Structure 1
Amino acid sequence: MPTALTRIQVTQTAQLRDALELAAQEWPGIPKSELVARLASLGAETIAGRRSAKRAARRAALEATRGTVAYPPGYLEDLRKDWPE
């Protein structure tokens, strides 16, 4: 089918073959090229979800520890004395 979009080639490894078989069970009658595209989209969604979960966990940890360290008075001034101007 003609398209102005960039095409890529994918070698059908054993791993990809297994993924395509699973995808074909999920979406019967879909051409392999479309199955590859759907698998890529689902993979991207999964990665984005994982990143979001990691980000949320880091933020929760920061929120949980906020204000738990009591620095002595003048701590920053003492620390900055060693910094070059």
Structure 2
Amino acid sequence: MPTDRRRHAITETEDISNALGLASREWPELADQPGALLRRLVLVGRDTLAHNHIEQNNNRRRAITDTSGALTDVFGSDLLEDLREDWPE
């Protein structure tokens, strides 16, 4: 079918064959359409990566919130002044 979009070739290695086998069991209506199975696998992979990215960001934000202020009062209020005393003039 003519298209202006980029096309991608993929060789059916053992790993790809195994992925197609799993996909055909998950989506039996596409079992005889390897191109459709590959498209579905790519989209599910995209969704999984996007979900993981969101989850990682949420975990980071939670860690920042949970540890916010944990080091309050660890350093004296004159620390910066003390450090600057060591600087050459």
Fold shared, TM-score > 0.5 on shorter chain: yes
Within 1, Cα distance between the matches of 2:82 and 2:42? 53
Q: Which residue of 2 aligns with 1:73?
A: 77
Of structures 1 and 2, the one with the larger relative CO (CA 8 A, separation 6+) is: 1
| Counterparts of residues 14-33 of structure 1 (less than 5 Å) | 14-30=14-30, 31-33=33-35
| Counterparts of residues 2-13 of structure 1 (less than 5 Å) | 2-13=2-13
Identity %: 37
Report the CA distance between 1:22 and its aligned residue: 1.2
Helix, strand or coil: the match of 2:28? coil
Report the CA distance between 1:23 and its aligned residue: 0.9
Within 1, Cα distance between the matches of 2:47 and 2:80? 43
Q: Which residue of 1 aligns with 2:45?
A: 43
Q: CA RMSD in A?
A: 1.9
In our comparison, the structure showing a higher alpha carbon Rg is 2
TM-score between both structures, scaled by the size of structure 2: 0.78
- For structure 2, the 5+ residue unaligned runs are none
Q: How many residue pairs align between the two structures?
A: 82
Report the CA distance between 1:34 and its aligned residue: 1.2
TM-score between both structures, scaled by the size of structure 1: 0.81
Within 2, Cα distance between the matches of 1:9 and 1:41? 17
Report the CA distance between 1:74 and its aligned residue: 2.8
